[in-house]
Structure 1
Amino acid sequence: MTDWTSLDYAVVDVEGNGHRPPDMVELAVVSIVGGMIGEPVSWLVRPGQPITPMAQRVHGISNESVSTAPRFEDIKDDVLRALNASALVAHNAHVDVNVLQRKLVDWQCPEVFDTLKLSRRFVPDRMSHRLGALAEAFQLTADVPDGMRPHRAGYDALVAARLFVHLATSPDAPRSLEELRGLPVAGGGDEAATLF
């Protein structure tokens, strides 16, 4: 079986402008290399359409906050460098992946691990699988840098990275990459794959 730390991961979170489909107003990436969580890298992004009042209430990013921020095209190369990993991790990953794929048309999305799906599989008894509820249940917010708060990309990406490592290493021993992928392992059941 393959150690999950054999892959390098880019953990992402995207905050949107509230439109359908959403446009990016903030992006953060946190690397996991050799099982160690790196520092968040984040960007505010000026969207093509204004941020809706509802979205502003959720993440607290105002239209004024992004009025002088770069357009996505201006940070695209930096984002691609940050996403250069063997696998992508996100909570409720299809949302983040869809936004990234719309912005990075030629980008080849690597293998995706969705911490929402992993938590439902590995800790099915939880009342809620929301990122905030899991962060509280597993005490994942200790030592979060000052100024970071829920529903901002840097905070959510860092907490998702901590959740992924927690799920990959809990409860008794590190899980194999095959277990994270939902593949049958020797002595295991035939659980269906839960990757995005």
Structure 2
Amino acid sequence: MTRSVLFDTETTGLDPLTGDRVIEVAALELENDLPTGRHFHRLIHPQRDIPDDATRIHGITLDKLRDAPRFEEVVDDIIAFLGDGPLVAHNAPFDFGFLDAEFARAARPALDRARMVDTLALAKKRFPGMPNSLDALCRRFGIDLSERTTHNALLDCRLLAEVYVELTGGRQRGLSLATEGQSEIPVAVYTASGPRTPRPMVPSAEELAAHAAFVARLKEPLWTTP
């Protein structure tokens, strides 16, 4: 199995270089690009204010984070869950940039850009010139958006996991839903069965005779020409 992690962040603003901070990190474990049901989620105190414009997007206020840990208190947990495999995110340079800024404050190394898998870039390649936001992709693939009233990092991860499955080939989904921990958001669990086993179709004698009779009526069929 090849392990990777799909993740998302919510922040106080758009630019970590001007002091904006991470306030939420969520991540899902993938095996062979399919969710296993295992996830990571932390709310984080930014040690600064949260502008109203940002709160309107993700619904998180500073009061909600009053008892949340600071980034340096959870940084090792985040690094451990991210592991050393590919990291999948929508508009990944944005999330990588914010995590790198937080890692630098905590004296941790930056993320290796070779690990980056950007689903926005994948979507733009597949649907050039079309809207490729997470909402737009969910609507295009018929994924339920009814719970997405604000940007919630964990819910966004779960929606993006379904989008990612479609962008990478639309694997067959399992039939069950599982709920992990205290989350009320259902986790779609996908079963990766490995490479498909070939099933040769052997024609009967009657079918071979019928095919030979059909070919005999054709004028110089290509597959019988030496």
Give TM-score scaled by structure 1 length. Answer: 0.74
For 2:76, the equivalent position in structure 1 comes to 77
Q: Structure 1 89/164 Cα, relative in aligned 2: closer, same or farther at 3 Å?
A: same
For 1:130, the equivalent position in structure 2 comes to 133
For 1:29, the equivalent position in structure 2 comes to 27
* Deviation of 1:159 (Å): 1.6
SS at match of 1:38: strand
Assess if the C-alpha contact under 8 Å between 2:143 and 2:159 holds in 1.
yes
Give TM-score scaled by structure 2 length. Answer: 0.65
Assess if the C-alpha contact under 8 Å between 1:19 and 1:52 holds in 2.
no
SS at match of 1:18: coil
Q: Structure 1 157/122 Cα, relative in aligned 2: closer, same or farther at 3 Å?
A: same
* Deviation of 1:156 (Å): 1.2
What are the within-5 Å matches in structure 2 for residues 57-68 of structure 1? Answer: 57-68=56-67
Alignment partners' CA distance in 1, 2:165 and 2:13: 30
| 2:54 counterpart of 1:51 | no
Letter of the 2:118 partner, please give it.
D
* Deviation of 1:54 (Å): 0.3
Q: Which structure 1 segments of 5+ residues have no match?
A: 1-5, 172-196
Percent identity between the aligned chains? 28
Alignment partners' CA distance in 2, 1:10 and 1:104: 18
SS at match of 2:168: helix
Assess if the C-alpha contact under 8 Å between 2:57 and 2:150 holds in 1.
no
Alignment partners' CA distance in 1, 2:144 and 2:32: 21
Aligned residues: 162
* Deviation of 1:77 (Å): 1.4
* Deviation of 1:66 (Å): 0.8
* Deviation of 1:43 (Å): 0.6
Alignment partners' CA distance in 2, 1:8 and 1:148: 27
* Deviation of 1:150 (Å): 4.3
* Deviation of 1:129 (Å): 0.4
For 1:111, the equivalent position in structure 2 comes to 115
Identify which range, 151-160 or 162-171, moves more after superposition.
162-171
Alignment partners' CA distance in 1, 2:32 and 2:117: 16
Assess if the C-alpha contact under 8 Å between 1:89 and 1:161 holds in 2.
no
Q: Structure 1 38/65 Cα, relative in aligned 2: closer, same or farther at 3 Å?
A: farther
Once superposed, what is the RMSD of the aligned Cα atoms? 2.2
- Higher RCO (CA < 8 A, seq sep 6+): 1
Q: Which structure 2 segments of 5+ residues have no match?
A: 172-226
For 2:168, the equivalent position in structure 1 comes to 168
Deviations 1:110-141 (A, max 9, x none): 5111111100102226x310111111211233
* Deviation of 1:34 (Å): 2.6
Assess if the C-alpha contact under 8 Å between 2:96 and 2:111 holds in 1.
no
For 1:89, the equivalent position in structure 2 comes to 88
Letter of the 1:35 partner, please give it.
D
Deviations 1:20-53 (A, max 9, x none): 3231011101111133213332110000211100
SS at match of 2:49: coil
Larger CA Rg, structure 1 vs 2: 2
